[in-house]
Amino acid sequence: MAAASVGLAAICTLAFPAVTSAQDAPSEALLDCRAIGSDDERLECYDRALDTQYGVDEELQEKRQQYRRERFGLPVDSSGSRMAELTATIAAVDANLRTGQTTIALDNGQVWQVLSSGGLRARFRVGSEVTISESATGGYRVRIAEKTGFKGVTRIR
């Protein structure tokens, strides 16, 4: 019986040799990424490690950045990392006098509703450049270029 199991082990070793190369073995950086708790940060870590090991695909990098720009301000899903801020130009402003709500449409197709009066004293005007960034509390705020203060906003589309 012992001879049979040794023979079987020898056959398996010959039939399925352990072929490994430096490129097939997981890098130390990939193994380090496994310890990261945040999904977004772990994904970014994996992307960096693989880009370093196999090279960077410029077209893929641009597609990732475009996707992040399009998803900016929408509810979070597991689609990847998020942008810290977005700069765009106001294409349209709708100030509803009856409800007191203001909606701004940006040149990139996004539509945002202004939530708070905040500390921004300037008015939203078509053609103004705005920067929308994530606040420390998880919401979003808009700033008008070269003006002080901000207002809270939420993305509608």
Q: Give the mean pLDDT per block of 10 residues along the chain (157 residues).
A: 49 46 64 87 86 76 81 63 82 88 92 81 88 86 88 88
Return the closest-CA partner of residue 120 out of 110, 132, 109: 132
Which pLDDT score is estimated for 66? Answer: 82
Which tokens go with 2?
A: 């012992």
CA distance linking residue 131 with residue 145, whole number of Å = 7
Query: 85-155 in CATH: which number?
Result: 2.40.50
> In sequence order, what are the beta bridge partners of 106?
90
CA distance 113 to 104: 6
pTM of the predicted protein model: 0.50
Q: What is the pLDDT of residue 117?
A: 64
pLDDT for residue 18: 45
**What is residue 8's predicted lDDT score, i.e. its pLDDT?**
47
By DSSP bridging, strand 101-106 and strand 140-144 are unpaired
**Residues 6+ away with beta carbon under 8 Å from 67:** 79, 80
Model pLDDT, residue 53 = 76
What pLDDT does residue 24 have? 55
Domain map of the chain by residue range? 12-71, 85-155
- Given a contact cutoff of 8 angstroms between Cβ atoms, the answer to whether 88 and 108 are in contact is yes
